[in-house]
Amino acid sequence: MTRTFASLAATAALALAGLATSASAELPVGEKAPAFTTKAALAGKEFGFSLAAALAKGPVVLYFYPKAFTQGCTLEANAFAEAMPKFKAAGASVIGMSNDDIATLKRFSREECRDAFPVGVAGPKVIGAYDVAMGSSGLTTRTSYVIAPGGRIVAVHSNSDYRGHVEKTLAAVRALKK
């Protein structure tokens, strides 16, 4: 089985399992994820994040959230932090993205992400590339992408309710290993 066929088979399996859900505004499953670099924070420390570099190490869960320190975004960050051992065991990395400034993200990475995973600045270009703009507010929709190491999107979950993002993205990452 070729890698391309295997990738398509995994995508089809995810779709049949209800894990590859997508609203019409987000990027579709199977599309190449737009490459980007940005400022990010992990454990209160700033660093440069590159999607290409992260994908070289394995699948990436790229989740967008509207605003740091709001109730739903805090609960979502806490849930991803708790699940990080499971994501790591599956060989995946996680990065949260919002339009917050780097100073806010440094605090958020320590206090709500519990030093478990990075959060990055989603500027207008990244927000536009991933089609996650929430109107003209500068905020993003709550959308999670699972990106395979080859750079293709294998799962999309967009829902304003934070619950379900961790479970669905973890299931998609695990399906990639099969």
The Cα–Cα gap between 141 and 66 comes to: 6
The Cα–Cα gap between 4 and 151 comes to: 12
Global pTM value: 0.86
The CA angle 154-168-34, to the nearest 5 degrees, is: 35
- Please pick, among 73, 90, 94, 156, the residue that the annotation labels catalytic: 73
The Cα–Cα gap between 103 and 113 comes to: 14
Among left, alpha and beta (phi > 0; psi -120 to 50; other), residue 75 is alpha
Q: What pLDDT, in 10s, does the model give residues 81-110?
A: 999 999 999 999 999 999 999 999 999 999
Query: Which residue do the tokens 């996650």 mark?
Result: 132
Is 113 marked active-site?
no
Q: What pLDDT, in 10s, does the model give residues 128-166?
A: 999 999 988 889 999 999 999 999 999 999 999 999 999
- CATH fold for domain 3-177: Glutaredoxin (3.40.30)
Structure tokens at 81: 């932090």
Sketch the domain layout of the chain as residue ranges: 3-177
Q: What pLDDT, in 10s, does the model give residues 8-62?
A: 444 434 443 344 333 346 899 999 999 999 999 999 999 999 999 999 999 999 9
